[in-house]
Every structure is written in C-alpha cells, then in structure tokens.
Structure 1
Amino acid sequence: MYQILLVDDEKLELDMLTNYVPWHEMGVEVVATAKNGKEALQKLEQYKPDIILTDVRMPILNGLEFAYRARQYNKSIKIVFLSGHDEYEYIKSAFSVDASGYLLKPIDLTELRFLIERIKTKCEEERLIHHSSYLLMEKYLKELMEESDETRRVELVHLLTLLPASLPATGQFYLAYVTIDHLDLPSNDNSLDTTLEKKLKKYKEEQDACSDVYWIPCGNYTFAVLHYVKPHLFEQNEQLFWKELQLTAEDTYALSLTVGLSQAENQLKSIHHLLIEAKEANAYKFYAGKGSLIHFPELNTINRINLDMDSLLLSLFRSISQMKTIETVMELRKFFQSLKTDHIHRDLIIAGVIHLIKSLGQQFMVQSDDINPDLLFSKQLSRLQESETIDKIEADLLQICETIIAELARKDQDPKARIVQKISHYIDQSLHKVLTVEEISKEVFLSPNYMRIIFKERTGETVLEYITKRRINLAIELLKDRSLKINEISVKVGYDSVSYFCSIFQKINGTTPMEYRKLILKD
C-alpha cells in the first residue's frame, strides 16, 4: 500500500479528496492532510509519504515552493499538482520540479486512476533499481575491504561511484567490525541478521541524517559496517551511536554486541586498512570482555613475556590439597587479573594454562586413582583453544580445579569431611532455590543441629554464612554478563526480593550490584 499526503487550502476540496476518492481501490492510503505548504512540510517529515497531491495556489507557502523543498528532502518522492488553472506557466513550473503529473479541478477519477497506476509502476521500477544497486554496492564494498591490489581497489571505487546510490571516492569513512555474542540460534538462521540490519538502518536514520551506513555480512553473526560521515561528527556521534545500539540489542534481543571501531580515513580505496584495524579492535575483547565497544587508537600494546607459572602452581597445589575451593578461586582471580593488566598475548596465556592443567593432573592423579586425565584434558583443552575471552579461560581452569577438589573430597576417609563436602556441593548446586538448614540436613541424613556443628567445625563458618557467601560470589560472576538484568541475577542466586538481594550485596561488598557492575565493566 502506497501512502499519499494531500495538500489544499480549501477545506471542502480537501475533505472531498480525503473522503470521496476511492484511494484504497487504487492501492493508496491517505496518511495525512495539510492546508498549506508550511504545514505540509511538517507532515512530510513526520509521515514520509510516497506520493504528494498538492494544490498550486495556497497561502503562506504555495504548492510550487513546497514541492521544491519536498524534493530537497526526498529526491524520489512523487509529486502531483492540482489546480483550477489550465495555464502554460503553471504546467511549465510544475515540471521544472520534476512533477509526476498535473491535474485540473474538478478531478476526473479516470484520469486520476491512470496517473496513480503510472506513478506506482514508476515507484516499483525505482525500488528494483535501488535494490539491485544496493546488492552491487554490498558486493563491491566487500571485495574492496578484502582487496590488497591497489589497481583493483581504484577500479572498485570507480564502480561504486557509478551506482545510483553512489559513495564518494573521498570523504570521512570509518568501519565497525561487529560480532553478536550470547546466541543460541542455528548457524543457518539469518533472521536475526536481517532484523538487526533493519534496526541499525532505522536507528541511524533517526539519529543522524548526515551519515550513511552500509551493513556487510562477513559470516555467521559477524558484520562489517562502513560509515560515511562528516569529519566533525565522528568523535561525538559515532561512538555514542554504537553504545546506544548495544543497549538496544541487549534490551530487545537479550544479547550483546562486541564492536571494534577503526580510525577515520578520507579515502574510500583505503577501507581495507580500516577492516584490519576494526578486526584488531574487536579481537581485543579477549581482555575487555564480550559486549565491549573498543576503539582502535585506544588499544594497549600486547606483551609477549614469559609467564611465571611456578608460583601459581604451588598456591594451587596447596589450596586444592586442602580442598579449599574459595582460596583456589581467589588465587586464580588474582593471577588472571594480572594477565589482563599486563595485556599478555593470548597464545602465551593458553600455552601457560595448558601446562598448568597438565601439571595439576599429574600431581593429583597420584592422590586419586579415580581422576581420569582424559576426562580432565580432552574436553577442556579443546575448548581452551577456542576461548574468545580471558574470562572464559579462567572459568574453564576453575572448573578443572573444582573437579579435582571434588574427587579428592570423595576419596577423603574422614566421614565428617565427606559430609561437609556433600553439604557444600548441594548448596552450590541449589543456590537458585530457597535453602533452609532443615532441608539440607535431610540430604545428608543428619539432624539440623548436628549438621550445623560439623559444618562450623570443618569450615569455620555457619551453613547460612556459607550460603550467603556463595550466592554473592555467584552474583559477582553473573554481573559480568551484560545480558542479565539485576532482578534476573537476584532470582538466579536464590533471592526473590531484589531489594533484599541488593541490601545483602551492599552489606558484604560495600556497594550496590548496579554500582559494582559499572566498576567491573569499566575496568
């Protein structure tokens, strides 16, 4: 259905046009009316119609002046003039603004139908041309981004400037390399690609009419987005635009976008350099985390220095041997935070962690015949090589350490230690539920009072203190995930009341969950 804006200063004429012309039979919808050119300009911007039917003689701003301004706003809009004057000068003036037709009052419906059909045909032809042009532009831009030969790049730029929706050879360009995180969709599902592309274009149109955006698929849920933008708008507008789009993706689709931004470039033929920069910036999420906005000039130098794993090994041997999970977590957290701060190269980190895992396995296989090295190594090591962030490597290593501790605890001959291990395990697996001492005691076949005594004796803390500590520790980890809202985290760690969760969190950490998230994401 095409949309039309009707403009006439005579109320009776405007009512007749609106209510008595069978627009729907012609495949046209009246989206707005206006009584003069000035009002029509406002309606044009608000409703963005395909067709304008306007009187020529009107007060304030006549039809010809309005048409001239409307054409500046939208070159493809179709304009039909309506007049009671069959005069050569009016017709000449009408076609000087590329009018699609000129009708005399009173309107002949047969003539109007014929004209509307002709306009619709013209619109369809232009849309097909625009679609073909866009596909060609996408093809040329993709090739240009990946082309290293200077001569071929010059040819591609020339081809791009010849297209109807052409790009200039010079100007202000920058490129974003976007990856979509936290997805549970099949690899051949391109519905999200299309939805996000439309959202991007619509959002960009609303935010900034002085910038053109070209969305180029580069693989499953990975895109290069070229911006042609005025130089003075880059710093103040473009990074803000991407931050807003990240928030939209998080709120609307419950996913995060990692965005790597290149520097600005003034030659279209040089955008292959921008793609390299944008990819490097995106890859820096290894340190910054998924869902980050990373600008290439702000990247820190990646260091290739040998890692001292011996100190960490000794600490882990001690905490794991004593089956102290919390100490193990703290040792790993401190170590990986230093890796982030020093920006150690990804390959060196992975090599060091592989060595660490193998050393742990060899050490603790002596203590427990049930620890299978294949179980420890095969799955985790294969996942380790594919890790996109340092946080993921830390989480996988912690899982291995916890597996070893669990196996050692199971082999512990002290019946009280096994009971405490069973209590801790049940609590850790049930943090999302309402937990009571009575319920937990049933799991270990003890009275509530005796269970309290054993747990306090072995751990130095009460059952309720341990539950609270584990819930808050889990909440701290979940706060790193931008896709989770505070109320969702509250439920996941067993608090139905968000306000009570926030008060407990603040009591332990000295800050609210929202403030804590801002601090860790900022760092």
Structure 2
Amino acid sequence: MFLKVLLVDDNRYALNHFSNLVNWEELGFSLIGTATDGIEGMELYEQYHPDLIITDVQMPGIDGRELARLVKQKTPDTEIIFLSSYDEFDYARAAVDLKVHGYLLKQELTRDILAAKLKTIRDHFSEKMQNAHQQIKSSLTTCFRMSVNELESEGYPDRKLCKGSAFFFIIEQDHIPEQIALQSDCQVKEAQYNRIFPQLSAQIPELTYLIRAERFIWIAITDDRKDSEKSALVAASFLREHESENFSVYLCGKVETIMDCRKRYEELKYLSKQRYFEGPQCVLYADLFDPPQKIPKTHMEALLKMADSIWDTEINDLDEFLSSIYKPLLHQQDFDSFIRMTCHILHAINKQLRKNGQPFDLYDEETFYLLSAKRIIRWIKSKIILIREFIHPVYSDMTMRVMDYIHQNYSNPLLSVEMIADIAGLSINRMNDILKKDLGQTARKYLAEIRTEKACRLLEKGLPIQQVAEQTGYSTPSYFSHVFHKSLGISPQEYQRTKRKNGAAAP
C-alpha cells in the first residue's frame, strides 16, 4: 500500500524540482498532488487526506506552520516535513511544537537525503500501523468476550476500525443444533482456526482483522475501499475446497467502529439459526433477511399435540404427517419452534426405544451430518421407520422377496424397477403400494437407500470413488456422486475425507 504525499511550495520551480527528485513509488509513496500556497494545500488535504505533507514554511496567506497546525488539529497522525531556505531556530522550534516529523533545508536537499528521510517515515508508519492494528485486534477480541450491556455499563472505549468505513462478514462452521448435540452427546470438533486464519489471510490480502468471536464463529473485517463482497466469497470458496468441515458465510455490511461491529453482530445472531433452513455451506446477505416471525403460542401447542399421534400414523402416510407438523415452522423459518418440535419428537422416539428394549442407538454417525432442517426431518423419518420395524417387524411375503432380491442384486447397474416387479409377480404400481405400507417407500427409493448405505461402508474402507460406484451399481462415478450428494447432502469425497479425519473405521 502506497502512502499518499502532498507537496506544498509557493516557488513553482522548487515544486517541480522536488516532485521529480525521487521515484516516489519505488520508495512506497504516491504523489497525489502539489499546491503553490497553504490555501490550495488545505483544499487538497481535505480532498485526498494524505499521509504525508511536505511543505515550505514561508508562504503568503496560510504559511507552512499554520497549515501544519490546521492539519494536526484534524488528523494528528498525518506526518509533516518542513522545507525552508533558512536554518533558523524559530522554524526548528515550530517543528518540535507542532510535532512535525522533520525539517529540511532546500539548498542541501539531495536525492539521497530525501530518500533517506522518506524511508524513515515509511518505517515509522509501518511500526505505527502494526501497533495500531494489534491494539484494535486486541480490543476486538476483548469486545467479543463481553456482552453489549457489560461494555456499555463499563464505558468501554470505542475506536474506529480503519480510516474509512469497514466491511465485516461472519464465518460460521456448520454444526448440528446445540439442543441435539446436548441430547446426543455428539461433540462436534471445532476447526483449527489457528491454522486456518493465516491461510485465509494469505488468500485475501485486504482482510484486515480475523478473530474468533465464539465457538464455531469467526469475525472477518476488510477495508471497505476494497471489493469486500468478493473477499467474503473468496473465503467461502477457499474453505469449501480446502477444509473437510463445512462453513457458511454471512455478509453483514458496513461498520465504522469496534462497538458498531459488536452491536451489529448481536443483531444478526439469528442468521446462525437461519442457515439451517438454507442448508450447509450457504452464503447469506444480511440485508435480505429479517428476524423470523414466531409461531403463535396456541398454534405451536396444537402442532405439538398433533405430533403426539405420530405412532398412530400409517407408514405410507408418514411423509404427509411430518409435512403437516413441520410445514408451518419451515414457512415461518422459526428455528426455535422447529427445534422445540424436533426435541419433542425425539423424546417420543426415545420413549419407544426404552419401551422396546433399546433395539438400536438413536444417535449414530449420521447425527454429525444434521446440518439443515430438511436433513433433520429426513433423519427423524428414518428413525421412526426403523423403530416401527421393531414394533411391527412382520412384512408380507412379497416385501421379503423384494428386499432379498435388492440386497443380492444392488450392485447390478442394469437392475430396474421392472425387474424387481417381475420378482414380486405384480405390477409396478401394486408392488409399490405394498412396499409403501410395509417400508414407507417405493422399490426405487429402497434400492437407492441400500446402495447409499453400502457406498458409505466402502468409502469408509478408503476405496476409490470409481470402484465404489462400480460395486454399488452405478454406471459412472459422476452419476454416483450426484445421487450420493442428493441423498446425504454431502459429496462422496467430503464424506470420505471426514471419516478419514475422524478416524472412523468401517464396521
């Protein structure tokens, strides 16, 4: 980043000479303008906000000392160097009083002397910026460890994040809802942010600050003069490609100060819940979302009461039943009510499990992938069907024949619903009617479920994607990947990486 320089001198010849005395950019500076008197110099200062002003002392109107005084009143951090043809004590004393960085004699000013002075100023700026950056980062970190009320009651000293406006976005590691994590005792491992932060900073040079706000959540701040939206999207893309965990990104807009950022973060906390309705690895624009409307209490109580009749519902009506109790919650995108309903149903499932001798564990490896509302509903449905199989394990002879045939032939890429119907000795429609009653799904869906289950076991063993596709009845790896992602919401590669990272062994 170049430091901006303004030259001011009432002698046009001297002004032109000093403008061309050094290669400014090679020294890390950008000459943004020249002025022939203090008035013009002040106008250019107001317009460009230079980091350094090199000004003659004696000028008509506003002289160098007055110019320095006015600038220092507005921006004390702006550095100023006095130029003069006279080596007089009064000028030197004025330089000290006004905290001017230096005093140069025109007749002794050579290329080397000016370059050396500029290097000193450049080093001074770098040190000052590093110190300021560290102080602000420390203040940011402290600020996010305290509540807004605590900060306001203690009179926490606020400060600007950068010269102009800043832009901030939130990076959140996708994870299962806290309520399910507590019930299941599934401890989701937090990503190694100390390793990831330097990698992100290298990918996004304009990333000014990156801190951990709380578990799973990071705050990223960029200078608003840059393409801030692009920075957020680059961060999302980098994390998606290089990390086994899933991450979502929320673009939150402009802020001026640390407290602005802290308060805005508090206002947007609902986005952490909103993402469950959008799915994992989502990018949300905060301006496009409002806090969700709560389901009326009486309506919610009626839905909970309806959910109590879940065991009286036929399996082939299960989709419609779950839709009737979840649809209002999904429509309102009321996460608190959604998770309340989910915990209510999970309590009922646990009750049935205890009643039937705990035939299986409710919470298994799949629990770690409950990263969206739709996936949670599908998971609940699968558990209800599974427990029903233990409560009502008797299937029709036709269903048993179909299940055995699919288990024996799922690896055949030519296996079709027509072939399965031939084994059943029925039409496709009639066969599916019976399967829906017994299994809660059609032959095609049951085949896809078995193939996905078998594929998971093979991926856990570390087999290549192409080999897994061949052994589970898919004609091409790309089609296998498409079906697998549609079923589990995660690609085979991501599934395998996650299992390998967690050290999961195939059963």
1:218-297 to 2 correspondences below 5 Å: 218-230=213-225, 237-297=227-287
- Call closer, same or farther: CA 1:97–1:295 in 2, change over 3 Å: same
Give the 3 Å change call, closer, same or farther, for CA 469–176 of structure 1 in structure 2. same
Q: Does 1:216 align with 2:208?
A: no
The whole-number CA distance in structure 2 between the counterparts of 1:180 and 1:338 is 27
Give the match's secondary structure for 1:279: coil
**Contact 2:200–2:235 (8 Å) recurs in 1:** yes
Which residue type is aligned with residue 419 of structure 1?
M
Secondary structure of 1:223's aligned partner:
strand
Q: Scaled by the length of structure 2, what TM-score is found?
A: 0.53
What's the secondary structure of 2:171's corresponding residue? strand
Q: Which residue of 2 aligns with 1:98?
A: 119
CA contact (8 A) 2:141 2:211 kept: yes
Instruction: Please tell me the residue identity of whatever aligns with 1:137.
Output: I
Question: How many angstroms does 1:275 deviate by?
Answer: 1.9
Q: CA RMSD in A?
A: 5.5
Please tell me whether the aligned partners of residues 175 and 371 of structure 2 are also in contact (alpha carbons under 8 angstroms): no
CA distance in 1 between counterparts of 2:260 and 2:339 reads 34
Counterpart among 371, 377, 383 of residue 400 in structure 1: 383
Q: Residue 453 and residue 288 in structure 1: after superposition, are their counterparts in 2 closer, same or farther (change >3 A)? A: same
Aligned partners of 1:450, 1:90: CA distance in 2, in Å?
A: 94
d(CA) in 1 for partners of 2:154, 2:360: 48
Q: 1:354 to 1:458 in 2, by over 3 A?
A: same
Deviation (angstroms), 1:386? 12
CA separation of 1:384 and 1:89: change in aligned 2, threshold 3 A: closer
Per-residue deviation, residues 370-413 of structure 1 (Å, max 9, x unmatched): 974573898559x9999764234313421321212321452x2x
Aligned length: 357
SS at match of 2:425: helix
Q: Does the C-alpha gap of structure 1 residues 328 and 371 become closer, same or farther in structure 2, counting only changes over 3 Å?
A: farther
The AA in structure 2 aligned to 1:352 is M
Distance, in Å, in 2 between the alignment partners of 1:302 and 1:493 is 45
Q: Are 2:165 and 1:172 equivalent residues in the alignment?
A: yes
- Mapping of 1:404-443 within 5 angstroms? 404-410=387-393, 412=394, 416=397, 419-420=400-401, 422-423=403-404, 426=407, 433-434=411-412
Equivalent residue, structure 1, for 2:295? 304
What amino acid is the match of 1:342? Q
1:22 maps to: none
Answering whether residue 350 of structure 2 is matched by residue 350 of structure 1, we say no
Contact 1:177/1:222 (CA < 8 Å) preserved in 2?
yes
SS in 2 for 1:65: coil
CA distance in structure 1 between the partners assigned to 2:344 and 2:165 by the alignment: 48
User: Contact conserved, 2:210 with 2:221, CA < 8 A, in 1?
Assistant: yes
Q: Give the whole-Å Cα distance in 2 for the aligned partners of 1:261 and 1:404.
A: 42
Distance in 2 between residues matched to 1:372 and 1:257, nearest whole Å: 39
Partner-residue secondary structure (3-state), 1:495 = coil
Query: What secondary structure is seen at the aligned counterpart in 2 of 1:97?
Result: helix
CA gap 1:351/1:68 in 2 versus in 1, 3 angstroms = closer
Within 1, Cα distance between the matches of 2:327 and 2:473? 28
1:332 aligns with 2:312: no
SS of alignment partner, residue 332 of structure 1: helix
SS of 2:293's partner is coil
3-state DSSP of counterpart to 2:280: coil
In the aligned structure 2, how far is the partner of 1:273 from the partner of 1:474?
49
- The answer as to whether partners of 2:421 and 2:427 remain within 8 angstroms in 1 is no
In the alignment, the residues of structure 2 paired with residue 330 and residue 488 of structure 1 have an alpha-carbon distance, to the nearest angstrom, of 38
1:181 aligns with 2:174: yes
Instruction: Specify every segment of 5 or more residues in structure 2 that has no aligned partner in the other structure, as ranges.
Output: 3-18, 32-50, 52-107, 177-186, 436-440, 454-464, 485-490, 492-507
Distance 2:259 2:120 in 1: 38
- Partners of 2:433 and 2:369 lie apart in 1 by 40
- Any conservation in 2 of the 1:262–1:296 contact (CA below 8 Å)? yes
**SS of residue matched to 1:98:** helix
1:34-45 aligned at under 5 Å gives the runs none
CA shift in 2, pair 1:238/1:419, >3 Å: same
Q: Does 1:65 align with 2:23?
A: yes
Show the counterpart of 2:83: none
CA distance in 1, matches of 2:264, 2:314: 47
Question: Relative contact order (C-alpha < 8 Å, sep 6+): which is higher?
Answer: 2
Query: Is 1:495 the equivalent of 2:494?
Result: no
Q: Which residue pairs with 2:143 in the alignment? A: 144
Q: Which moved more, 1:133-142 or 1:290-299?
A: 133-142
- The AA in structure 1 aligned to 2:200 is L
Encode CA deviations 1:346-378: one digit per residue, 9 max, x unaligned.
2x333334444555777xx6xxxx974573898
SS of 1:64's equivalent? coil
